């Protein structure tokens, strides 16, 4: 067991970076995949699903939490084994290709999500589950390519740049959704009852087309990664042998897990604080739609603003990562997200900051005209400043802590730790929302996860990389 490498080595070995085309193409993976998270699971489709398809924001949020929890359990169970099998087989791209196809198929099924068509709801939920699982496994294999593309001194920058590219892709996708669904905002007047492209408003086709459009976006923009980013050479061994070797390696790693104590401490901390981040990203738009009655326009503008903030924050976070270390960059990001979440918790439709009464949004008033909406926006700025650096620096820290020959396996365990209890926050939110009949409970649960993860991270020792 490479104990020294696991606890003191960087897990990153290139003396020179890969060609710029390889690194840029790797970053395009985030560009291609981020619209799924931005447009579908956060700002547009998730609130549409909970408020319109299900018809009741509380019941919808509860069901959404259960769907996310189930998907997370499947990801958690399979990630370490798939990562170890990929390590044994060498190549990552075949796995990436398969899961990207599955992600596109799951997105396409979301076209069936129409209010009043509950007989199609099982297929919609199937699409969500397949897409959730495929997206997370795809990220795991793409992350495993990172250590071979950049030097230790610059790997944080590349990780942050990738997240920045992702947020930029999400921003453009959000803007496109907004223009298609509400073309009046840019001075286009379609026929009555229609959005752009002839989409019918009465059957919410502008919201439903988001799934197939995300699948098409993915198919186009993930191609550079497959064409120009180098993969590890294959082992040439039969798949059955590779699978057995991967399973044995995971079991052996788990048996000797205490020898990887530093990395284990980080993964436990990550497991907790990432739960909080996923929950606040996943339920922020749902919460705003519930308390302010936001529709596609408001949610789209909100998402665009959040991504505008997140793009430079993620890139700057990568720069900060390389200078002060991944651990400190993560800690700063957790504080920012926690402050934003606390602010959101303080807001209701007619009060802010835990009790200061404000006028609710007046009927027919413009978007973001009420004080509560404006304070919510300020809190979202804090979320945007923290969420990109938190994810980018966490990804880098795994690369710094992992043994070079076990990168795929430990990124699998990283996915496991990110998903082992990620079902817990949505599950607790789903249960608590149903029990207390209030959406505010989501923010309380998020804060607890962020605080515990922050405390646990203190004991992680980051190796020098200069």
Please report the pLDDT score of residue 9 as a whole number.
34
Please report the pLDDT score of residue 7 as a whole number.
36
Do the Cβ atoms of 103 and 71 come closer than 8 Å?
A: no
Spatial separation of the C-alpha atoms in residues 303 and 288, rounded to whole Å = 11
Residue 200 per-residue DSSP state:
B
CATH number assigned to the domain comprising residue 92: 1.20.1250.20
Tally of domains within the chain: 1
Question: What φ, ψ does residue 348 adopt, rounded to 5°?
Answer: -125, -175
Domain limits for position 403: 18-233+258-457
Contacts of residue 378, defined as CB under 8 A and 6 or more positions apart, other chains included, come to 343
Please check whether residue 99 lies inside any domain of the structure.
yes
Please check whether residue 378 lies inside any domain of the structure.
yes
> Based on the number of CB atoms within 10 Å of its own CB, is 43 exposed (0-12), middle (13-18) or buried (19 or more)?
buried
- pLDDT 10s digits, 189-230: 889 888 898 999 889 999 999 999 999 999 999 999 999 999
Please check whether residue 158 lies inside any domain of the structure.
yes
Do the Cβ atoms of 383 and 377 come closer than 8 Å?
A: no
Please report the pLDDT score of residue 305 as a whole number.
78
Please report the pLDDT score of residue 407 as a whole number.
63
Beta partners for residue 284, in sequence order: none
The CA-based angle 397-398-403, given to 5 degrees, is 120
Please check whether residue 9 lies inside any domain of the structure.
no
Please check whether residue 248 lies inside any domain of the structure.
no
Q: What is the C-alpha R_g of the chain?
A: 22
- pLDDT 10s digits, 32-43: 998 898 899 877
Q: List b or e across 398-420, with b for residues whose CB sees 16 or more CB atoms inside 10 angstroms.
A: bbbbbbeebbbbbbbbbbbbbbb
Beta partners for residue 356, in sequence order: 352
Please check whether residue 426 lies inside any domain of the structure.
yes
Q: Copy the structure tokens of residue 364.
A: 């027919």
Please report the pLDDT score of residue 211 as a whole number.
96
Residue numbers in the chain where pLDDT is lower than 50? 1-12, 466
Q: Name the one residue in this structure whose structure tokens are 């749902």.
A: 286
Q: Copy the structure tokens of residue 337.
A: 């997200």
Please check whether residue 419 lies inside any domain of the structure.
yes
Please check whether residue 106 lies inside any domain of the structure.
yes
């Amino acid at each position: 067991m490479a104990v020294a490498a696991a606890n003191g080595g960087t897990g990153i070995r290139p003396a020179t970076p890969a060609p710029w085309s390889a690194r840029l193409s790797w970053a395009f993976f985030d560009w291609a995949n981020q619209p799924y998270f931005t447009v579908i699971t956060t700002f547009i489709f998730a609130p549409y699903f909970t408020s319109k398809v299900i018809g009741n924001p509380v019941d919808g949020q509860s069901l959404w939490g259960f769907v996310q929890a189930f998907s997370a359990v499947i990801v958690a169970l399979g990630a370490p084994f798939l990562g170890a099998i990929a390590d044994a087989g060498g190549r990552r791209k075949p796995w990436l290709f398969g899961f990207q196809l599955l992600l596109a198929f799951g997105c396409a099924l979301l076209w069936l999500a129409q209010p009043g068509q509950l007989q199609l709801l099982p297929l919609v939920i199937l699409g969500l589950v397949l897409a959730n699982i495929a997206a997370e496994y795809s990220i795991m294999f793409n992350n495993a390519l990172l250590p071979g593309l950049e030097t230790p001194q610059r790997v944080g920058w590349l990780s942050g740049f990738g997240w920045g590219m992702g947020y930029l892709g999400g921003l453009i996708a959000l803007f496109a959704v907004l223009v298609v669904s509400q073309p009046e905002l840019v001075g286009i007047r379609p026929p009555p009852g229609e959005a752009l492209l002839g989409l019918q408003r009465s059957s919410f086709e502008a919201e439903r087309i988001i799934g197939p459009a995300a699948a098409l976006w993915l198919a186009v923009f993930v191609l550079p990664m497959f064409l120009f980013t180098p993969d590890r050479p294959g082992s040439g061994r039969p798949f059955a042998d590779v699978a057995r070797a991967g399973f044995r390696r995971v079991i052996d790693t788990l048996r000797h897990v205490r020898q990887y104590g530093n990395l284990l401490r980080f993964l436990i901390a990550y497991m907790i604080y990432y739960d909080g981040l996923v929950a606040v990203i996943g339920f922020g738009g749902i919460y705003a739609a519930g308390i302010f009655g936001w529709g596609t326009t408001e949610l789209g503008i909100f998402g665009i603003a959040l991504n505008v903030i997140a793009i430079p924050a993620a890139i700057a976070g990568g720069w900060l990562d390389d200078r002060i270390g991944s651990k400190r960059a993560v800690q700063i990001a957790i504080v920012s997200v926690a402050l934003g979440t606390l602010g959101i918790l303080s807001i209701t439709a007619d009060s802010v900051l835990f009790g200061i009464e404000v006028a609710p949004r007046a009927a027919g008033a413009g978007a973001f005209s009420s004080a509560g909406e404006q304070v919510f926006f300020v809190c979202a700025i804090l979320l945007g400043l923290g969420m990109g650096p938190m994810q980018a620096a966490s990804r880098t820290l795994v690369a710094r802590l992992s043994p070079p020959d076990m990168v795929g396996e430990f990124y699998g365990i990283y996915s496991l730790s990110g998903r082992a209890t990620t079902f817990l926050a949505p599950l607790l939110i789903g249960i608590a929302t149903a029990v207390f009949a209030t959406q505010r409970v989501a923010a309380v649960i998020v804060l607890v996860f962020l605080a515990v993860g922050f405390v646990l991270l203190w004991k992680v020792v980051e190796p020098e990389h200069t």
